[in-house]
Structure 1
């Protein structure tokens, strides 16, 4: 009976969705026209010969870029050379300044955000000096980069403690040295400038190999989309409202929350981050080949195992599944610095490890073959066309946010050098936009660098009151992958999850 009612609810909601779709298209068209009119008005009335560029719709931000919840990110590059400070100015700063391609492709690096008529614009800074954005950090409390408490202190400072200045470009390079003489090159920027792919493309002008050739030639970008012919795409598009209703219906029925360890006052809310070396890429690829799945479901399987163990540790009933959101790339990323991705939203199962992996693989395959990734991308673009006051009201107090986020960053495929020093390790971090009341718990990031990998996690203090919990999350992810690698597995029939024989 309950299944019949569920089908009936989905049917009714789908009919409503198809009915609303024409009005949504009209409203989107009006928003696009209004946005264009605002842009023309600013160019005629305010710019007057100055360079004012309206922020792309994909870069719209819902939180203040100058507050503690600013959508900031950073990339750290660890090198083992004391002279990096002296070498950096000549080999990096001057190289970026001289590079005409960087000036053409990345005008945002010389511009500041300015709000006019409810929209953000990039306005070129007439007093820009690149050396003003190269700073040497003096942090005596940071003793060792490899020390977990010091790494957490540095992450909190970079994402929450260090604020952007109004009227200045939203990026900087920081140089830090620990007591062992190791140097850390930190590229920090606001996410409005671009995504992780854009960060690597910007640094492509700086990275070199041992023999001083460009170091990021042909860096791989994972893509999960399988483009079909036009008729299939049109048929898939027609089903989009129904697919969207089914997605949100399944999310409404699976509102699982990650157990909280501590209760803290909202004013004291902070973040806690941890990082460690992951399994070598050769072993991660071996899991993928062994089970005949894409790489992305393998990462999600590790997160699913960690989530299950988190419920076990808190002695809480384990739900059958829990929602997870992941950013996935869209084809043909522009050469310019842009946010050019969409999202994959599925339910993570919490059962048997191998069955988890296969179910995740099927869910990801079904999702990415649908029109949902493209439709949600255009939903985001539509939100970017709305005036900022309206966007802020809509996102003032988000609730029922998906609790888990997984990020996969495909780093340089070969060893890189910067300022004459070999980069030993690359890490990334991104601020959390939400508060504890939103329902968000923590995110996990996987970054590859040549044959090595780095696994990191960041969460709110209410979920990570101490460093032991995020480190346990990372340990459980790794243990899940090792368990899959050690499992004897055979597929007796293709594409049939029920016909698999498993021996542990």
Structure 2
């Protein structure tokens, strides 16, 4: 059977599964009206399966080193992936949280395409749809392409509204590349890095820009080495021995317009505000678990999208990683926001994302054992994964039913990262989610509640400062005689 080459970055993510920490993304959407399972099935059959990746399984192939490849699934059956279940009594958010925790704790079947969907009835009078997929299929940005194809902007859209049949190329059939020595990995990765760094620069017409881009790649490699030499994050309740059991939680939605107003007062962006509120929540959570928060460090591993514009509609993984120092040792919200803004601004100009993206290219071409060593070394420098994805801004529909809320959980693979925090926006609202090892973080809902409390504190401070601001004097009205 024909196999298709998997990109080195995707292969790196496929191998990132640990015995307890799985590289699986979980997403949820909630509807106030019930979903019709047969109609949902028809949508996924017609639209999701137009992406080859969702009809392909992963196989290890090649000599002398077997590497992951995509293989079309013979006799593919969508009913192996779509499940119709009902929520247990009392049919509330707590019951849904328990269900998602159970599902998130279960590995995917590696003999099948790596995704599952559950349509859940009786969720507070409506429905939930839970989708899980392995990270080797796509990153968060790429999944926005899938969302754009699955869901509609009007309730009565036809089943085939987009006209195209395949938004994800199958890839190149595997051939001589199977025999390429592993020692070529570094040379090829360096070539890819230079191509990536100069993708938007014409070397002939802008030679200095090309040189500067190349310097950024080389500087990123040096910075990455510096990151690897950093001391590890100290032991905390977020680090330790893992089990397969996961616990999940999600916050109440917060308004993007409020985050924008808070940020405007401090010269900060929406993301700065949301991350600062998350940092305040983690400070309170760790303090409640007897951590000396005034004298500790807490780093988050943050993905940064480096996808070239010409590959905007493709699946796969096109991001690098950076380490962000979270200001948990700052007691005041305004100070935390200022430090968060400074840290986020530094990341925007850092070559580190490209350097780690190159590292993924290298790791995807070496045996899993070597990749595990690198992941453990880099992962020890942080305590959690943090992602922030901008989702759809308008109301979307699934099988004719309006989607009320949408949020997701990123994985936290490896042996050191005991928790992942994700922020996803939809319809002008942002939701923060937490997934963590059930032993290390048995109460993730505490963190999401603290996030809402912290955000409300920042919002009230804005209102108070606005009320104190002196009113502008109005010009006297001219009354004609």
1:137 partner SS: strand
In structure 2, which of residues 345, 352, 372 is the aligned counterpart of residue 365 of structure 1? 345
Question: Which of 87, 90, 93 lines up with 1:147 in the alignment?
Answer: 93
Once the two structures are overlaid, the 10-residue window that deviates more, 167-176 or 307-316, is 307-316
- Residue 304 (str. 1) matches residue 279 (str. 2): yes
CA distance in 2, matches of 1:256, 1:200: 35
Q: Do residues 95 (structure 1) and 46 (structure 2) align?
A: yes
1:61 equivalenced with 2:38 (yes/no): no
Question: 1: CA distance between counterparts of 2:336 and 2:129?
Answer: 39
Match of 1:442 among 406, 409, 419: 419
Alignment partner of 2:301 out of 318, 325, 341: 325
Q: Within 5 Å, which residues of 2 pair with 1:180-195? A: 180-195=124-139
TM-fit CA distance, 1:448: 0.7
Q: Could you say which residue in structure 2 is the equivalent of 1:337?
A: 315
SS in 1 for 2:142: helix
Offset, 1:423: 0.6
Q: Does 1:171 pair with 2:115?
A: yes
1:53-99 residue CA offsets vs partner (Å, 9 max, x unmatched): 12211112365769653311222222233351243234x144327xx
What are the superposed Cα offsets for residues 374-411 of structure 1, whole Å, 9 maximum, x if unpaired? Answer: 11111121111213343346557987251122211211
Give the Å deviation of 1:369: 1.1
- For 2:396 and 2:406, the matched residues in 1 are separated by 10
The equivalent residue for 1:32 is none
Aligned CA distance change for structure 1 residues 461 and 206 (closer, same or farther; 3 Å): closer
Alpha carbons of 1:314 and 1:209: their partners in 2 closer, same or farther (altered >3 Å)? same
Q: Which residue of 1 aligns with 2:147?
A: 203
- Please give the secondary structure, in 2, of the residue aligned with 1:53: strand
Residues 375, 83 of structure 1: alpha-carbon distance in 2 compared, 3 angstrom cutoff: closer
Is residue 381 of structure 1 aligned with residue 361 of structure 2? yes
The TM-score normalised by the length of structure 1 is 0.72
For residue 289 of structure 1, what is the aligned residue in structure 2? Answer: 264
Report 1:20-419 matches (<5 A).
50-59=1-10, 60-61=12-13, 63=15, 68-82=20-34, 84-90=36-42, 92-96=43-47, 103=50, 106-116=51-61, 117-138=65-86, 141=88, 143-144=90-91, 146-148=92-94, 150-161=95-106, 163-178=107-122, 180-210=124-154, 212=156, 229-249=209-229, 251-252=230-231, 255-259=233-237, 270-318=245-293, 319=295, 321-331=297-307, 332=309, 333-349=311-327, 350-351=329-330, 352-392=332-372, 395=375, 400-419=380-399
- Measure, in 2, the Cα distance between the counterparts of 1:175 and 1:314: 37
Does 1:460 pair with 2:437? yes
Give the CA deviation at 1:269: 5.6
Please list the CA deviations of residues 418-452 of structure 1 after superposition, one character each: whole Å capped at 9, or x if unmatched: 101001111212344245xx2x2432211111122
Q: Which runs of 5+ in 1 are unaligned?
A: 1-49, 217-226, 490-504
Distance 1:69 1:315, change over 3 A: closer
Aligned to 1:41: none
- Matches of 1:82 and 1:159, distance apart in 2: 23
Partners of 2:117 and 2:41 in 1: how far apart? 11
With over 3 angstroms needed to count, the CA separation of the structure-2 counterparts of 1:239 and 1:259, relative to structure 1, is same
Q: TM-score by structure 2 length?
A: 0.75
Instruction: Give how far 1:52 is off.
Output: 0.6
Distance 1:238 1:71, change over 3 A: closer
CA contact (8 A) 1:159 1:430 kept: no
Distance 1:473 1:463 in 2: 18
Residues 417, 423 of structure 1: 8 Å contact kept: yes
Instruction: Report how far residue 157 of structure 1 moved.
Output: 2.1
Per-residue CA distance 1:216-238 (angstroms, 9 max, x = gap): 9xxxxxxxxxx994344344345
Look up the match of 2:446. 469
Closer, same or farther in 2 for the Cα pair 1:83/1:185, shift >3 Å? closer
TM-align CA RMSD: 3.2
SS of the equivalent of 2:442 reads: coil
Say whether the 8 Å CA contact 1:325–1:405 is kept in structure 2. Answer: yes
Q: Distance in 1 between matches of 2:130 and 2:93?
A: 17
* TM-fit CA distance, 1:413: 1.1
Return 5+ residue gaps in structure 2 as ranges.
163-199, 202-208, 467-481
- Give, in angstroms, the shift of residue 248 of structure 1: 4.3
Q: Partner of 1:255: helix, strand, or coil?
A: coil
CA distance in 2, matches of 1:386, 1:480: 48
